[in-house]
Amino acid sequence: MPTPNDHRAARRLIRKGEKILTCDGHGLKRLTHAALQWLTANYQAVNALNVFPVPDGDTGTNMLLTMQAAWKEIENSNEVNAGKVAHAVAHGALMGARGNSGVILSQIWRGFARGLGEKAEFNAADMAHAMREATDTAYRGVVKPVEGTILTVSKDMAVTSEVAAADHTDLLYVLDRVVDAGRDSVAKTPELLPVLKQAGVVDSGGQGLTLLLEGMLRYALGLPLDTAPEAEVKPLDLAQVGAAMEAVEPGQDWEVVVDFRPHRELELKSFYAQLENIGTSIQVGAGENIYRVHVHLPIEKRLQPIELAESLGTVVNVHMENLLAQMDDTLARGKASGKPPVDMKDGQIVAVIVSPGPGFDRVFTAPAVAIVSGGQTMNPSTADIMSAFEDLLTDKIIILPNNKNIQLAAQQAADHSVKKVRVVPTRTVPQGISAMLSFNPDGDFDEVAASMQNRMGEIDTGEVTTATRTVELDGVSVTEGQIIGLRNGQLACAGESPERVVIDLLKHMDAPGRELATLYYGNGLTEEQAQAAAAAIVEEFGHLTVETYHGGQPHYHYIFSLE
């Protein structure tokens, strides 16, 4: 991350440099690229600020993917009109928006473009007006705005831009003040949002937004944009690994991730050298007295990272995956659900369902259903969701996002479609399954949507995964690498095995008063392991009927419903 010395050097450059009074389309294009470059260099540090200790669509990654889509829209453009460039950036961000942070970022760009209108170039006052419009648009795009988030940071930046532009015509001066305001606002977010203070972090979305503006400032001052964060080791989790490793190197058929606590301080250069003798795609992440090692390697070497970690410390968690099998499954899933003709009659209601795994694909597959692959760590973009229904011969669409971090992208797809689209705000896959019990493709659109929304509220959802950070939330202490249980998205318990945590979580969910638990297993668990967990549940609760199905979801050992 930037150091105080960077900031002082920037301040000196501003005082000595020439004033910049206007910016045209070419200048805005260069600034946009600079923002993307600086976020690329720092997005892992943004990911590390995630509050909740679960594999998720990380804020930094989602904002980066959104900005990449925005840049792609103007990359080959020679447009000189600043307003037109801003509108193109906003459109790219809109269609590429992923996760809630990406959607809000796209709304900020949309408002900025609206504020500039069709101006060929903009000055300091125009910039301040556009930043105010950006903030107002972002706030309007969120049903229940929460302070202490990216929204607050955007608002503080806008206020500062207006004050600075009232007294100065230099765009560089205004941009410098705006970046300062962003840093100050981010630092104050824990005082506005208690969960941030509880977790000991600042808001990740606000930090990401500040980095984007900071990248623009650095470009204007001639400072480097490819400087990685100062820490020699970046935070890393399985979610980031899954998003980053899209290809398998020849011969490197296995992925191994090892968490270990070193007995003494690591000599990192030597450690990296040892890993390089084992495999490729090496990444090392640091937590609180814990290291996470990720490496791709051939099958005959798949135990060597574990042995190396054991020679240096205590191994606390291991994740191993056959990458070729994973790719085969992905390809098969793509063939099975990748844009086949939706089985429907003209004019029927179509349900567009976000599904996190091949097992869930099969559960959801039915007439008048379109499947979109996505979930934790793989949030589909606005364009991904729209492409599932825009070409269908119907104007009646119901979207089930099945994840809280996909809801804004789903709503954005609905808002920008010419069709009649309703989002049933399912936050979990079991809620989506329950809602689908009321789906009638031949029914009245409003009645079906209302019935599905009512039905989703009848389900209690449990999720079991591995903690990606050490934190204490809601009275539950979690150590990175522990197995944790969530009830309807809220941290409820932690333990050392998926089976034990399932039982503890069921106790939190008042299982003795329920009748049926439906377990969907994934994250490499076998049917035998799921059956053993089901037997343990029956032994613990007696009366409870337990059904198990293959969900195939990554990162989550179990996703289950209780009714």
DSSP 378: B
Q: Which token pair is 113?
A: 């473009």
Q: How far is CA 47 from CA 127, 132, 196, 239, 356, in A?
A: 29, 27, 14, 10, 21
User: Considering only CA atoms, which of 493, 460, 465, 484 is closest in space to residue 560?
Assistant: 460
- Contact in structure between 67 and 105 (CB atoms under 8 Å): yes
The Cα–Cα gap between 502 and 136 comes to 44
pLDDT of residue 200: 80
The DSSP-derived string for 443-459 is S-HHHHHHHHHHHHTT-
Using an 8 Å Cβ cutoff, are 484 and 467 in contact? yes
Q: How far is CA 267 from CA 256, 279, 304, 307, 331, in A?
A: 21, 19, 18, 17, 40
Sheet strand arrangement including 396-400: 369-373, 350-355, 396-400, 420-423
Q: Which two tokens stand for residue 44?
A: 């892992």
Whether the full predicted model's pTM is greater than 0.75, yes or no, is no
Q: How many residues are given for the chain?
A: 563
Identify the pLDDT of residue 461: 93
What does the DSSP 8-state code read for residue 22?
-
Q: Which residues pair with 354 in a beta bridge?
A: 372
Are the beta carbons of 270 and 298 closer than 8 angstroms?
no
Cα(526)–Cα(281) distance, integer angstroms: 27
pLDDT of residue 489: 85
Query: Is domain 339-456 classified as CATH 3.40.50.510?
Result: yes
Cα distance between residue 211 and residue 183, in whole Å: 9
E strands in 313-366 = 313-322, 350-355
3-state DSSP assignment of residue 462: strand
Query: To which H or E segment does residue 259 belong?
Result: strand 254-262
pLDDT, residue 18, reads: 66
Helices 59-74, 82-96: axis angle to 10 degrees equals: 130
DSSP 8-state class, residue 539: H
Residue 122, beta-bridge partner list = 23
pLDDT, one tens digit for every residue, the chain (563 residues): 445 555 555 555 555 556 889 999 999 999 999 999 999 888 888 887 876 666 665 788 889 989 999 999 999 999 999 999 999 999 999 999 888 899 999 999 999 999 999 999 999 999 999 999 999 999 988 878 889 999 999 999 999 999 999 999 999 999 999 999 999 999 999 899 888 887 788 899 999 999 999 999 999 988 888 764 443 333 433 333 333 333 344 455 677 878 788 888 888 778 878 888 888 767 676 655 677 787 878 877 888 888 898 888 888 777 776 655 544 554 454 444 444 568 788 889 999 999 988 888 888 988 999 999 888 777 888 989 998 998 888 999 999 999 988 999 999 999 988 899 999 999 999 999 999 999 999 999 999 999 999 999 888 999 999 887 788 877 888 888 899 999 988 899 999 999 999 999 999 888 877 889 999 998 888 999 999 999 999 998 888 899 999 998 888 999 999 88
Residues 31, 179: contact at Cβ < 8 Å? no
Domain 238-326 coded CATH 3.30.360.10? no
Instruction: Tell me the C-alpha distance between 479 and 241, whole Å.
Output: 20
The pLDDT of residue 235 is 41
Q: Could you tell me which residues are beta bridge partners of residue 295?
A: 256
Q: Are 4-221 and 460-562 the same fold in CATH? A: no
Q: Which fold has domain 4-221?
A: 1.25.40
CB 349, CB 328: distance < 8 Å: no
Of the CA atoms within 13 Å of residue 298, those in its CB half-sphere come to 5
Query: What is the C-alpha end-to-end distance of the chain, expressed in Å?
Result: 47
Q: What pLDDT score was predicted for residue 468?
A: 79
Phi and psi torsions of 32, nearest 5°: -65, -45
- In CATH, the architecture of 460-562 is 2-Layer Sandwich (3.30)
Nearest C-alpha neighbor of 58 from the set 555, 471, 424, 400: 555
Whole-number Å distance between alpha carbons of 121 and 454: 50
CA separation for the pair 122, 103 (Å, rounded): 25
Positive or negative, the Cα torsion across 198, 200, 205, 206? Answer: positive
Beta strands per DSSP E along 389-530: 396-400, 420-423, 460-466, 471-473, 476-478, 483-487, 490-495, 516-521
Using CB atoms within 10 A of its CB, is residue 485 exposed (0-12), middle (13-18) or buried (19+)? buried
Domain ranges (residues) in the chain: 4-221, 238-326, 339-456, 460-562
Asked whether 218 and 38 are in contact (CB, 8 A), the reply is yes
pLDDT for res 292: 76
| Helix, strand, or coil (residue 561) | strand
- The answer to whether residues 376 and 403 touch, using CB atoms and an 8 Å cutoff, is yes
Tokens standing for 317? Answer: 């968690």
Quick one: DSSP state of residue 433? H
